[in-house]
Amino acid sequence: MSRPAVPVRRSERGASLIELMIALVVLALGVLAVARLFPAGSRSNLNDRMLTSANYYVQEKIEALNRVLFSDAQLTDGRHPPGIATEACGTSGKWERYYEVTTMAAPLDNLKKVTVTVRWQFMGNRQTQSTTYLRR
């Protein structure tokens, strides 16, 4: 006894192999595009952490200079340390710091302008600066 053939309706057929391959290619392209975002985000995160540390070292020096007397040797006019020397910051020494002191002209000669600069290298040379005025 043979079974009668069941007619296959066109609307009930499955996806063809070509349709599945196209869907997989589109999905793979989307996954690859998202995967490329992770290294860029990691670089940006590291750059932000290094900038935050540099700003901390700038603020640290400004606060230390706020505690010294107006006539102290640390507040003499010029670059400190002199020449092209720098002070290493942090345990790794990746940041370099120096500051410049300028006595303001009269009638503001009771003020000293202090500019602290911190430099580091990450994807090129970077630096941050902050300026404060110290009063007699």
Please, what's the b/e burial string for 28-56 (b: 16 or more CB within 10 A of its CB; e: otherwise)? eeeeeeeeeeeeeeeeeeeeeebeebbee
Residues whose CB is less than 8 angstroms from the CB of residue 36 and which lie 6 or more positions away in sequence, other chains included:
none
pLDDT class for 92, splitting at 50, 70, 90?
Answer: confident
Residue 119 pLDDT > 90, yes or no? Answer: yes
Residue 52 pLDDT > 70, yes or no? Answer: yes
Taking the domains of the chain in order of start, what are their residue ranges?
Answer: 15-135
Q: What is the mean pLDDT of the chain?
A: 89
What sign results for the dihedral spanned by CA atoms 19, 25, 31, 37? negative
pTM, 2 dp: 0.72
Distance CA 15, CA 106 (A): 86
**Residue range 38-57: average pLDDT?**
90
Angle (nearest 5°) at CA 86 between 81 and 88: 125
pLDDT class for 10, splitting at 50, 70, 90?
Answer: low
